[in-house]
């Protein structure tokens, strides 16, 4: 066989498409069926159509590989490598590949905003300049600030290098407050100048509060008047006549002796018993607010682990994790050794919950030499049942015993064959997957389809993707799989309005659809990770140590 590309160097604008024509020649004597796959750092944007070619002896067939990097941080500028591989499904070991490069052009898209727009304080306040680099390359900017009245002392960095995404810059605004008077509003302007681009301006306001405000000017005359009135009243009281007749100890009309009444026993009122002073009831203590039903967010490993702080963490809370390679793909870091990696050779690692405290939990990689900068999404559920982002759920824990491959998890009342199920290991050295879904439960298995070398305990979350929970919609769930033709290399682009740069995206491989195929059902699956994400989308890709030959179905859950 022979494989040729019509161009080895392709170029594309972000948001556009580049097409490379692939021709496979059958130089043998039998009819061959070739499966096409794309590898390399540009493979995340590639699809092959058709993905399989039937070629007769002495003939040739063609396919088109389309590269479509998004117009955003998910399509970083630069030169990215790829290789198109054709592997025979008839003659074992018959395969060939052709290399190439893809040049992604650069584009600029920068916005700036001040938070809060107005800050109130005395001598110093702090605001944040939010710079959002929506382009596909790092951006160098220069920063300056002025106020028309020249009353403020504005401190901020003179320059900054902005990676794609949002960067926050602290802005300290100093002022000299008046001693008395009303607060004064002083406007100011921050100018952001990108290299070679038109500058942006951001308007802000500093509300300078006086040291003592205007109340001393109002209260002082009132205090003086009160003192004068008190002095006059005291003067009058020193010249009052003696007490009138009928007072205690004097003769009352009728010749009888009158004594002051004494409040004793049952006739005494509470105020009398207290010497005339009314008792003040003690305020009842306020109950502390209940903890949130869930926490969701992003973390990042450092040295292969991370400690994630939360407000509170009960011992029975359920925690779910999924690796996020956004920072790694943006930097272009790749590996070619035996470490887990994606089809584009970006390093990845499966994650587990390695420990928990009252206000934090620890995340660790389940492989040696995990990559630096590996981020992850997390979801912490503080209750075993309820709604997460408006979707009904039920959560719990189970385990796969030593020497076992699968475990049936019964007693999950909300589980159905259409449920979305998310799993995360909390103790053990093997990742897990979903093997079957049924009414009232499910079956979980080791991801590699091998007996557990040691007990594997895991948390599970069963979600109704179509359920109508309470509260505003803040979560979405569903099922998907990697695309045919890019097996083990590229996967679908999840699209939902809830997805953003900071949304938690949780994934779990799901072998349920393979139950009718004994060969695939007993095969090891690759794990899945988020390759990149932005407003309205998340790209998902498998990662593995050895390239798998099956598509990877998975369940997904997005929580904001």
77 lies in the same domain as 139: no
Backbone dihedral angles phi then psi of residue 222, each to the nearest 5 degrees: -65, -40
115 lies in the same domain as 85: no
* Closest residue by Cα to residue 303 from 252, 229, 351, 372: 372
466 lies in the same domain as 503: yes
- 145 band by pLDDT with thresholds 50, 70 and 90: very high
**Among 104, 138, 160, residue at a domain's last position:** 104
Per-residue pLDDT at 296: 93
* Closest residue by Cα to residue 28 from 120, 85, 90, 75: 90
492 lies in the same domain as 351: yes
* Ordered strands of the 153-155 beta sheet: 110-115, 124-133, 165-174, 153-155
Residue 292 DSSP SS3: coil
Per-residue pLDDT at 272: 43
Q: How many domains does the chain have?
A: 3
**What are the respective helix, strand and coil percentages of the chain, to the nearest 5?**
10, 45, 45
**Among 104, 119, 134, residue at a domain's last position:** 104
Residue 471 DSSP SS3: coil
User: Structure tokens of 386?
Assistant: 């309820």
Residue 509, pLDDT > 60, answer yes
Q: Other CB atoms closer than 10 Å to residue 456's CB: what's the count?
A: 25
Contacts of 497 (CB under 8 A, 6+ apart): 536
Residue 183 DSSP SS3: coil
403 lies in the same domain as 523: yes
119 lies in the same domain as 87: no
Residue 268, pLDDT > 60, answer no
Per-residue pLDDT at 254: 42
80/20 Cα distance (integer angstroms): 14
- Which CATH number belongs to the domain containing residue 62 in this structure? 2.60.40.10
Residue 97 DSSP SS3: strand
User: Structure tokens of 368?
Assistant: 């040696």
61 lies in the same domain as 99: yes
* Closest residue by Cα to residue 15 from 500, 543, 537: 537
Residue numbers of the domain that contains 130 = 110-208
**What does 90-120 look like in DSSP terms, one character per residue?**
SSTT-EEEEEEEEEEPP---EEEEEESSEEE
Residue 154, pLDDT > 70, answer yes
Per-residue pLDDT, averaged over 516-520, amounts to: 66
Backbone dihedral angles phi then psi of residue 224, each to the nearest 5 degrees: -65, -45
194/105 Cα distance (integer angstroms): 18
**Cα angle 159-107-100, degrees, rounded to a multiple of 5:** 120
Residue 322, pLDDT > 90, answer yes
Q: Other CB atoms closer than 10 Å to residue 105's CB: what's the count?
A: 16
Q: Other CB atoms closer than 10 Å to residue 261's CB: what's the count?
A: 9
Peptide bond into 116 cis (omega under 30): yes
Mean pLDDT of all residues belonging to the chain? 83
Backbone dihedral angles phi then psi of residue 129, each to the nearest 5 degrees: -90, 115
299 lies in the same domain as 431: yes
Backbone dihedral angles phi then psi of residue 45, each to the nearest 5 degrees: -105, 10
Per-residue pLDDT, averaged over 114-141, amounts to: 90
506/479 Cα distance (integer angstroms): 12
Residue 244, pLDDT > 60, answer no
Residue 329 DSSP SS3: helix
Per-residue pLDDT, averaged over 82-89, amounts to: 93
378 lies in the same domain as 477: yes
Q: Are 522 and 320 in contact (CB under 8 A)?
A: no
* Closest residue by Cα to residue 523 from 457, 456, 452, 445: 445
Per-residue pLDDT at 176: 85
- 343 band by pLDDT with thresholds 50, 70 and 90: confident
Within a domain: residue 239? no
User: Structure tokens of 59?
Assistant: 């003939």
Residue 308, pLDDT > 60, answer yes
134 lies in the same domain as 76: no
403/396 Cα distance (integer angstroms): 22
Of residues 259 and 130, more confidently modeled: 130
Q: Are 498 and 414 in contact (CB under 8 A)?
A: no
Per-residue pLDDT, averaged over 376-397, amounts to: 93
Q: Are 345 and 334 in contact (CB under 8 A)?
A: yes
**Among 104, 138, 170, residue at a domain's last position:** 104
171 beta partners: 127
Within a domain: residue 130? yes
The rounded percent of the chain whose pLDDT value lies above 70 is 81
Q: Are 462 and 518 in contact (CB under 8 A)?
A: no
For residue 366, what are the CA distances in angstroms to 339, 380, 427?
A: 11, 20, 10
187/480 Cα distance (integer angstroms): 51
Residue 324, pLDDT > 60, answer yes
Q: Other CB atoms closer than 10 Å to residue 516's CB: what's the count?
A: 7
Within a domain: residue 216? no
Q: What is the pLDDT of residues 463-483, one digit of tens each?
A: 998 876 555 668 888 887 765
456/166 Cα distance (integer angstroms): 38
Within a domain: residue 233? no
Per-residue pLDDT, averaged over 228-242, amounts to: 59
72/330 Cα distance (integer angstroms): 11
- 487 band by pLDDT with thresholds 50, 70 and 90: very low
Q: What is the DSSP secondary structure assignment for residue 3, as one 8-state letter?
A: E
The conformational region for residue 465 under phi > 0 = left, psi -120 to 50 = alpha, else beta, is alpha
Q: What is the pLDDT of residues 413-445, one digit of tens each?
A: 989 999 999 999 998 889 999 999 999 999 999
Q: Is the pTM of this model over 0.95?
A: no
423 lies in the same domain as 547: yes
Residue 384, pLDDT > 50, answer yes
Residue 359, pLDDT > 50, answer yes
Q: What is the DSSP secondary structure assignment for residue 495, as one 8-state letter?
A: E
Per-residue pLDDT at 248: 38
306 lies in the same domain as 186: no
Rg (CA), the chain: 36
- 327 band by pLDDT with thresholds 50, 70 and 90: confident
Residue 363 DSSP SS3: strand
């Amino acid at each position: 066989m022979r494989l040729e590309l019509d161009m080895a160097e392709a170029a594309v604008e972000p948001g556009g498409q580049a097409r490379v024509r692939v021709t496979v020649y059958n130089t043998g004597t039998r009819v061959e069926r070739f499966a096409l796959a794309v590898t390399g750092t540009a493979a995340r944007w590639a699809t092959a159509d058709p993905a399989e070619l039937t070629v007769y002896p002495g003939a040739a067939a063609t396919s088109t590989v389309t590269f479509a990097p998004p117009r955003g941080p998910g399509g970083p500028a630069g030169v990215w490598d790829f290789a198109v591989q054709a592997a025979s499904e008839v003659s074992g070991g018959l395969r060939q590949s052709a290399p190439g490069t893809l040049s992604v052009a650069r584009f600029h898209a920068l916005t700036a905003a001040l938070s809060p727009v107005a800050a109130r304080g005395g001598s110093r306040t702090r605001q944040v300049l939010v710079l959002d680099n929506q382009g596909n390359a790092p951006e160098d900017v220069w920063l300056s600030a002025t106020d028309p009245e020249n009353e403020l002392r504005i401190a901020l960095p003179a320059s900054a290098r902005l990676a794609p995404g949002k960067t926050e810059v602290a802005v300290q605004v100093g002022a000299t407050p008046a001693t008395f008077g009303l607060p004064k509003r002083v406007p100011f302007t921050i100018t952001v100048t990108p290299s070679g681009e038109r500058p942006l301006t951001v308007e802000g306001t500093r509300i300078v509060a006086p040291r003592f405000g205007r109340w001393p000017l109002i209260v002082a005359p009132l205090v003086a008047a009160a003192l004068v009135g008190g002095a006059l009243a005291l003067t009058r009281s020193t010249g009052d006549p003696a007490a009138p007749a009928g007072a205690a100890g004097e003769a009352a009309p009728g010749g009888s002796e009158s004594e002051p009444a004494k409040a004793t026993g049952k006739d005494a009122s509470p105020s009398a018993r207290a010497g005339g002073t009314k008792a003040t009831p003690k305020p009842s203590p306020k109950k502390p607010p209940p903890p949130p039903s869930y926490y969701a967010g992003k973390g990042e490993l450092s040295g292969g682990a991370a400690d994630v702080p939360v407000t509170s963490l009960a011992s029975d809370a359920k925690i779910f994790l999924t690796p996020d390679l956004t920072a790694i793909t943006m930097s272009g870091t790749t590996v070619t050794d035996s470490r887990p990696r994606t089809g584009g050779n970006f390093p990845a690692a499966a994650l587990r919950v390695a420990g928990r405290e009252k206000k934090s939990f620890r995340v660790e990689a389940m492989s040696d030499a995990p990559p630096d900068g590996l981020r992850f999404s997390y979801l912490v559920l503080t209750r075993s049942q309820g709604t997460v982002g408006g979707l009904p759920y039920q959560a719990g824990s189970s385990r796969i015993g030593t020497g076992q491959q699968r475990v049936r998890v019964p007693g999950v009342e909300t589980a159905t064959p259409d449920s979305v199920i998310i799993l995360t290991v909390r103790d053990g050295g093997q990742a897990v997957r979903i093997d079957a879904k049924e009414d009232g439960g499910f079956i979980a298995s080791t991801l590699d389809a091998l007996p557990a070398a040691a007990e594997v305990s895991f948390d599970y979350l069963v979600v109704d993707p179509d359920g109508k929970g309470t509260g505003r919609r803040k979560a979405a769930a569903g099922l998907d799989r990697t695309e045919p033709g890019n097996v083990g290399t590229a996967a679908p682009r999840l699209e939902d309005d809830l997805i953003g740069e900071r949304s938690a995206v949780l994934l779990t491989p799901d072998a349920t659809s393979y139950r009718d195929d004994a060969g695939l059902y007993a095969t090891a699956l690759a794990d899945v990770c988020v390759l990149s994400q932005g407003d309205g989308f998340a790209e998902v890709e498998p990662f593995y140590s050895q390239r798998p030959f099956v598509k990877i179905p998975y369940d997904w859950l997005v929580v904001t």
